[in-house]
Structure 1
């Protein structure tokens, strides 16, 4: 990377630290530190929510997902507007009326301290684990991008976010998020513009869409109902609705945003901003990945965007790699020629020849990936390196630094929010609630900063220990799906099931988490109809596939918690009345 790009990146990181820490003076007590004294404008909260959502995982992983597959991933966001409207009517006014610090404080009055602590513990565990992934995932990519060691990259991202969050509190987090969102949007829009302008002069935008459509890359909707399929319209409208309701309505990192609002109206407006903007933004990012695929039909693309060649490699594997490279170059030229033929004469024969040439080229890419996996004895995938490769090799000097700053911004805007939320829950739901000694506001403020530092260091160490993943955008949603549905079930019992009590709610929550674990590890053989439970440390039997995909774990967890919680509450009351 050119020194100009390095200078831009360093200047951005320095400004972020300054901007985040300068708001520390507004945090004279824990209400200022955690809730900005409930004084944030709605547009800042809304942009902060979007910045947290548009993490480096979205920036890098979603574009790669569209490049490798298609645009069906956008379906999981179809539920966002419905979720936002429902939350504006239900949980937002509920939380605003109570004026609490934590989303889980409200559980104690109705269901008891154990339910409050267990629910908040699930949040701490799930978001703590997710935070390690949020730091690790972009660090692996950025380390290769910058030709920089991995460990220092992780430390730069983790420590930078920890420092300004620890000093500036939620006010610093929201103000930096707004600027970071601006940098991210610039990076995405400029990249799209550069792809369009870098296509051959005789290839128009409509030609690009035609080629992408011929390959099925523009497929965004799948109407088939299948719970074993990750992305279809039913997954997006039904299963993802539970995920979004739980994430925006019960996850402290999001609830904390609208708890900082001046009024209920402002809190609702911040969520509605996300409702209006989320789907278009995700659609645009996916379309960017598709256009990147079209760009590399005409421009030189490597056999793999993530090459790993250890020092000691068998000669047979070296020869196999050379053969695959030769086959790939020939296949690349054949596909390029087929694309030209199709644009000149748009008929069925040319379309079929183009699709076959594309399939053959991707078969060679798959073989190269298998070769690298044999060499490294580990899972290797280049999905998360496609967009960064384009940035470094195609974007002009100066703009590269800004776009990489956008990736850093995306990572930081997610990390700071999670850190502040983790600290809030730990201090409010655990430390202050269980501490029997009277402490001053100054004491709790110091403790809050210390806990922020603790979570930041813990997440950074976890990131150093984590390995690469095939699709970082999927992994984060999978981690969330393990917990979100069950937590949502507790709040449904709280608001709408009058007969629910503490015994039923806590037992239902445990049953919900257990059911999610069981069904997540359930596999079936489509040919024999045999089902098998597979432990996490065991190999999946040959011929077996997932019975239920991860997004459907959300309504499953919610349903089990509500039904078990209601039934056990009724039984418990009958037992007590007969005593």
Structure 2
């Protein structure tokens, strides 16, 4: 990167962290530290909720997801507005009525201490691991692109977040997230405008190319349990995931519990519900435009330059060069056919368009086969080599083609997103550890100042754990899918506990506690055998369905156990 890019990158990050510390510096009690003084307005809450969910993984992985798989990932968010309405009607009034610090306090008043502790523990396990992934995921990409040491990048991101999160608590997180959201969306919109301007064809022609090459596949109404992203999984599995994430995950609950009133918190949630889908649409569409750009300008054969350099320096250099030549030849042929297809569209020759489309898609498959051979070479050269390069697509395009200054801004986008989501997670982990475990079960009856200080210490400890976990983590699958998978393993059981509490007044704590443990065990068992057989039954389920299955298992098992206990 140029000197201007480095100045913009570090200047942006230092200003955000410094502003957060400055605005929230000074003595606080537990109420102000954990709930921000309850003076947040609706748009601050809405931006904070959006920034918490919009991690660096969103901006690194989502464009790459669209590049390789098209727009269908947008269906994952179709259930979000419905989830926000349900939470605003049922969850928020109860939280405000009880004046809770964490969502799990409700469970003790409704059930008992062990059920509250179980739900809090499931959250701490899931979110503690997720915090590590939230740091690790961007770090492995950024360290590769910037040629930094991976562990240095992990520690750099982690320490920046710990500084202002420990210093200012909930209010510092919410205040800094406003600036971070401005940087994130401003940078992404600018990148989208630039990539469209750089296309050698008209915007309408770019849409034709994207459509004919199956990248504008926004909706799929075919019901298929094994399909991760279709309309039905978005409106059911993802709906349960969002209800659990926004309604029971303390990293989100803490954002809207800081509102000045129930009305402000509701408006903040609804703002997220109606802006998140367009936001994800924009990010996915940018990925599609990058795909179209690379149909006219030859893309790298493999987007992770580090792995390419390893091949270049190995005995497989000549094999890689041969594959590169074949890829280039295929690209030139396909590029010529694309222009012919655009001419046929102008001349309104549907039969010729259909013929050229089939030829182009066949050529695209041939090029993917060449890319697969490269991945095989990478694994032969280094069995631990990373062969999934979709997470590198967008930032590789940024570094290769965007002007000076914009590159630094886009890196600031990624760092800001990593900081915003990690800060919310650490803030929630510190709050839950303090309120639901330390204050409730380990050290009762101390002063408000004592619990405020313990929350700071626990936030810092969780930050250290996240850094350590990130330093020893290994990447699996696409980053955004990795985070959603981790949440889906636990969120269903947690949501089931809350829905039993809200909707099934006759079910008691003991039955709910046993049901949640059994349901969580079943979900982990299903995931372990997913893609194979369990007790002779073939299992092939998209992970979003874990949320609905886990939730419904808790509710049905709790009802059954309660009936048995009564008899």
TM-score range, shorter chain: over 0.9
Match of 1:317 in 2: 316
Q: 1:229, CA displacement in angstroms?
A: 1.3
Point out the more displaced range, 314-323 or 117-126.
Answer: 314-323
CA gap of 1:62–1:26, structure 2 versus 1, over 3 A, is same
CA contact (8 A) 1:331 1:361 kept: yes
- For residues 402 and 410 of structure 1, the distance between their equivalents in structure 2, rounded to whole angstroms, comes to 12
User: Is the contact between residue 383 and residue 470 of structure 1 (CA under 8 Å) also seen in structure 2?
Assistant: no
Shift of 1:300: 2.9
Aligned mates of 2:376, 2:136 — CA distance in 1: 24
**Cα deviation per residue 1:539-572 (whole Å; 9 max; x = unaligned)?**
xxxxx98511100001110111001111112221
1:235 aligns with 2:242: no
User: In structure 2, do the counterparts of structure 1 residues 524 and 2 end up closer, same or farther at CA, with 3 Å as the change threshold?
Assistant: closer
Equivalent in the alignment of 1:538: none
Q: Structure 2 CA distance, aligned partners of 1:134 and 1:427?
A: 22
Residue 414 of structure 2 corresponds to which residue in structure 1?
407
1:215 aligns with 2:174: no
| Alignment partner, residue 541 of structure 2 | 548
Is residue 374 of structure 1 aligned with residue 372 of structure 2? no
Aligned to 1:173: 173
Distance in 2 of aligned mates of 1:282 and 1:166:
30
- Asked whether the equivalents of residues 26 and 33 of structure 1 are also in contact (C-alpha less than 8 Å), the reply is no
Deviation string 1:221-263 (CA, Å, 9 cap, x unpaired) is: 1111111111111101111110011111111111111111111
TM-score by length of 2: 0.95
Match of 1:397 among 376, 385, 404: 404
Q: Which residue of 2 aligns with 1:142?
A: 142
State the partner residue of 1:298: 296
Residue 62 of structure 2 is aligned to residue 69 of structure 1? no
Please give the alpha-carbon distance, in whole angstroms, between the structure 2 residues aligned to 1:465 and 1:403.
27
Deviation at 1:350, TM superposition (A): 1.9
Q: Aligned partners of 2:564 and 2:444: how far apart in 1? A: 39
TM normalised by structure 1 equals 0.94
Distance 1:467 1:276, change over 3 A: same
> Relative to structure 2, which stretch is displaced further, 351-360 or 159-168?
351-360
Asked if residue 559 in structure 1 is aligned to residue 552 in structure 2, the reply is yes
Shift of 1:469: 2.9
Q: Tell me, which stretches of 5 or more residues in structure 2 are unaligned?
A: 346-352
Q: Is the 8 A contact 1:164 1:172 kept in 2?
A: yes
CA distance in 2, matches of 1:27, 1:376: 53
SS at match of 2:474: coil
1:467 aligns with 2:460: no
Maintained 8 Å contact 1:27/1:36: no
Match of 1:361 among 357, 363, 367: 367
The separation in 2 between residues aligned to 1:21 and 1:499, in whole angstroms, is 47
1:351 aligns with 2:344: no
Q: In structure 1, how many angstroms separate the alpha carbons of the residues matched to 2:391 and 2:191?
A: 16
- Alpha-carbon offset, residue 317 of structure 1: 2.5
- Give yes or no for the alignment of 1:477 onto 2:470: no
Output one character per residue of 1:205-227: Cα deviation in whole Å (capped at 9) or x when no partner. 11001011111110011111111
Whether the 8 Å CA contact 1:500–1:569 is kept in 2: the answer is yes
How many corresponding residue pairs?
558
* Residue 54 (structure 2) pairs with residue 54 (structure 1): yes
Q: Structure 2 vs 1, CA of residues 461 and 59 (structure 1 numbering), >3 Å: closer, same or farther?
A: same
Task: Give yes or no for contact 1:342–1:354 (8 Å, CA) kept in 2.
Answer: no
Q: Give how far 1:288 is off.
A: 0.8
Offset of residue 522 of structure 1: 2.9
8 Å contact 1:228–1:546 — kept in the other structure? Answer: no
Where does 1:251-262 land on structure 2 (aligned, <5 Å)? 251-262=249-260
Residues 123-134 of structure 1: matches in 2 within 5 Å?
A: 123-134=123-134
In structure 2, what is the Cα distance between the partners aligned to 1:313 and 1:362?
20
Where 2:43 maps in the other structure, the secondary structure is helix
Deviation at residue 468 of structure 1 after TM alignment: 2.4
Contact 2:526/2:539 (8 A) holds in 1: no
Q: Which residue of 2 aligns with 1:528?
A: none
For the residues of structure 2 that align with 1:322 and 1:494, how far apart are their CA atoms? 62
Q: Contact 2:311–2:317 at 8 Å: present in 1 too?
A: no
Q: Displacement, 1:88?
A: 0.7
Residue of structure 1 in register with 2:528 after alignment: 521
Q: Distance in 1 between matches of 2:538 and 2:391?
A: 24
189 and 364 in structure 1: CA distance in 2 versus 1, 3 angstrom threshold: same
Please give the secondary structure, in 1, of the residue aligned with 2:190: helix
Bigger mean CA offset, 75-84 vs 561-570: 561-570
Partner Cα distance (2:321, 2:335) in 1: 21
- For the residues of structure 1 that align with 2:26 and 2:484, how far apart are their CA atoms? 34
Q: CA RMSD in A?
A: 1.7
Cα distance in 1 between the residues matched to 2:354 and 2:446: 76
For the 8 Å contact 2:115–2:512, the answer to whether it is kept is: yes
CA distance in 2, matches of 1:533, 1:330: 50
Q: Tell me which moved more, 20-29 or 190-199.
A: 20-29
Shift of 1:110: 2.5
* C-alpha displacement of 1:316: 5.7
CA contact under 8 A between 1:76 and 1:231: conserved in structure 2? yes
Taking the aligned partners of 2:551 and 2:225, their CA distance within structure 1 comes to 16
Aligned partner of residue 521 in structure 1, secondary structure: helix
CA contact (8 A) 1:423 1:451 kept: yes
